[in-house]
Structure 1
Amino acid sequence: MEMKKVSISAKRQITIPQKFFTKLGFDTEAECIVRGNELVLRPVKTTGGGEFAEQILADLIAKGYSGEDLLDRFRLAQKQIRPAVERMLSDAEKAALSEIESASYNDVFGAEE
């Protein structure tokens, strides 16, 4: 694990060391995540949801979209994937910590017979 101590300015700003900035592929935005007692800083991925591209396109085509309208709807759907997954992960963490109610495996799939 690589580590470097950085200063925090009076305006609560930090500078990402060039080596880390380049290695991790930062651009103009970063995500800040609190994980326990740590602050995780990572680059924002602007092209999320690529793994679902085929399913998204098939669904939009089945709904009758084509041309520029298809392209616009596809872009919108891709932008919605990452926030949805992040909400699911947050809810899973809260459920694991008993902060929210959740369904059990048997509630979802039924008891084994």
Structure 2
Amino acid sequence: MDVSKIIRMSSKNQITIPKKFVQLLELGKEVECTVRNGAIVIRRLTRIQNEDFADLILQDLISEGYKGDALINRFREIRSGMKSAVSHLVQDALEYAKQDNRTTEERLNDIFGPRD
């Protein structure tokens, strides 16, 4: 469903997103803003919080034998490096994607197998 509305831009280059759009897209306090093909694209920001991985990190550290202050210190160390690690993963994925000459159909076949 396409919904369109003309809105004004303030003298400070600010816009107000119509309430209907905010509700329709369930926007939060922050949005992602991208320039794509000569258009500004605004979309819901979805972030993976570090807390989402906290239990997994703690399980690994406990299984490795960490306890007490050593556990806390190692957990903080790993958690502080999460953003950098994810950033490197994203960069690696983008580089791989640039070098991947397969068609979309070929990529889908590699993931899901050929269509029946």
State the Cα deviation string for residues 16-47 of structure 1 (Å, max 9, x = none): 11122123232222221111111111232232
CA distance in 1, matches of 2:82, 2:13: 33
User: When the two structures are aligned, how many residues end up with a matched partner?
Assistant: 97
Q: CA–CA distance in 1 between the matches of 2:27 and 2:78?
A: 25
Inter-partner Cα distance in structure 2 for 1:6 and 1:86: 35
Show structure 1 runs of 4+ deviating over 4 A.
48-62, 80-89, 102-105
* Aligned amino acid, residue 72 of structure 1: R
Q: State yes or no: 1:66 paired with 2:71.
A: yes
Check the 8 A contact 2:7/2:16 in 1, yes or no.
yes
How many Å separate the matches in 2 of 1:85 and 1:35? 23
Structure 2: gaps spanning 5 or more residues: 103-116
Aligned to 2:31: 30
Q: Return the TM-score normalized by structure 1.
A: 0.50
RMSD: 4.0
Give the corresponding residue for 2:114: none
TM-score (norm 2): 0.49
Indicate if the aligned counterparts of 1:33 and 1:40 stay in contact, CA closer than 8 A.
Answer: yes
**2:35 is paired with a residue of what secondary structure?**
strand
Structure with the bigger RCO (C-alpha within 8 Å, sep 6+) is 1
Percent of aligned pairs sharing the same letter: 29
Q: Tell me, in whole angstroms, the C-alpha distance in 1 between the residues paired with 2:4 and 2:80.
A: 37
Partner of 1:20: 21
Q: Which residue is 1:111 aligned to?
A: none
**Greater Rg, structure 1 or structure 2?**
2
